[in-house]
Amino acid sequence: MSVTPLTAKQLTRKIIEKEALFILDVRNEDAYSDWKIEGEKVTSINIPYFDLLDGVEEVIKKLPADVPVVVVCAKEGSSIMIADMLAEEGQDVSYLQGGMKAWSEHLEPIKVGNLNDGGEIYQFVRIGKGCLSYMVVSQDEAALIDATRMTDVYIDFAAALGVKIKHVLDTHLHADHISGGLKIAQATGGTYWLPPKDAENVPFSYEPLEEGKNLSIGNTTISIQPLYSPGHTIGSTSFIVDQSFLLSGDILFVDSIGRPDLAGLAEDWVGDLRETLYSRYKALSSELIVLPAHFMIMDELNNDGSVSASLGDLFEHNHGLNIDNEEEFRKKVTAHLPPQPNAYQEIRELNMGKIQKDSEEQREMEIGPNRCAIR
């Protein structure tokens, strides 16, 4: 029978389109329990590679006859070997090219809206990591927000659209993934913007994101004022695009709210978090479409694979926005903090330019799920 390679993009499309899939994950148990491929119609089991070296006859009994089977490992090699063994026993099977490392790095661009001047806004869904980044396009210019380290994807996408990246912005100092913002700005000649309270003593130059500054892209204005929005970090800054879209960074998600502890200051920053969510955001139009910097669970994806919701809907349904008592809010937030992101202190230092890591070290630092949210 046949063995078919499956790219991360192909697998992403199958999950977005809600195709039934059966994942045989042959990584170690701890890696699988920490982070695995999920989807509405995805079923998976974990049988470590070393447990299959003597034969796959027993595992074949656990595989469905009517659902495509995909073998997954960390880097690809083990999954190819197991897929070949399954094929020799008469099983049609696919394997994920590049393994979970490729899954972690894939970015799926999805158009999420039109702008009033004819421009567009795109969301880049990093489905294996839960990261979301954005490109705002107007006329022949673009702004890029919360870019990941896979810089070529954004540069190539802009080139395909025939636009020049004029501005590159990070909503805050990221701790769960490595920013590509500075590298992209240097490569394209764009201006790199950072919240100054998150960028003290960085060794590179940047423009400060401060209240009262407006950034123009073509005929579109990204309004910074009055959305200084601390809580996840002390400098977190949100953007309103075209009076229609609220880019909330890691302050507010579709199904959760941001965590305030990644600098070890949960007790101090939880008050800022509440002030941002319950005062600053509450004063905004309920019709704004919230576009966050992360998602945590696959249920947050819309039918087209994008992640968004109106601010009004979130104030109605997001539990983190419906805790009236301030003391109760503080207790719930600080008592339900998830595990820290992998290598988050080093990622913070890397994003501030204080340390350097090669590409393989950066890949290893990012392995694992999104952990920026509190549910």
pLDDT digits (tens, 9 = 90+) for 88-104: 999 999 999 999 999 99
Question: Beta strands 131-138 and 120-126: pairing type?
Answer: antiparallel
Q: Which of 233, 228, 293 is nearest to 261 (CA)?
A: 233
User: How confident is the model at residue 66, as a pLDDT?
Assistant: 93
Question: Beta strands 69-72 and 131-138: pairing type?
Answer: unpaired
What does pTM read for this prediction? 0.95
Residues of each domain in the chain carrying CATH 3.60.15.10: 107-365
Question: Beta strands 191-194 and 164-169: pairing type?
Answer: parallel
The 10 Å Cβ neighbour count of residue 67 is: 14
* Active-site choice (3, 23, 56, 73): 73
Q: Taken in order 309, 315, 318, 321, is the CA torsion positive or negative?
A: positive
- 131 is annotated as an active-site residue: no
User: How confident is the model at residue 374, as a pLDDT?
Assistant: 73
Q: Which of 209, 178, 177, 173 is nearest to 192 (CA)?
A: 209
Q: Judge contact between 100 and 74, C-beta under 8 A.
A: yes
DSSP conformation letters of 250-269: TSB-SS-EE-S-TTS-HHHH
Phi, psi (rounded to 5 degrees) for 203: -85, 5
Residue 9 corresponds to which tokens in the numbers above? 């993009």
Residue 173 corresponds to which tokens in the numbers above? 């100092």
Half-sphere exposure of 31 (CA within 13 A, CB side): 17
Residues of each domain in the chain carrying CATH 3.40.250.10: 3-102
The size of the chain, in residues, is: 375
| Positions of the chain with pLDDT under 70 | 225-226, 262-265, 375
| Cα distance between residue 350 and residue 347, in whole Å | 5
User: How confident is the model at residue 264, as a pLDDT?
Assistant: 67
The 10 Å Cβ neighbour count of residue 328 is: 10
> What residues form DSSP beta bridges with 258?
373
Q: Which CATH number applies to 107-365? A: 3.60.15.10
| Cα distance between residue 134 and residue 148, in whole Å | 10
Task: Name the CATH code of domain 3-102 (choices 3.40.50.2000, 2.60.40.10, 3.40.50.970, 3.40.250.10).
Answer: 3.40.250.10
Could you give the angle at the alpha carbon of 260 between the alpha carbons of 257 and 266, nearest 5°? Answer: 140
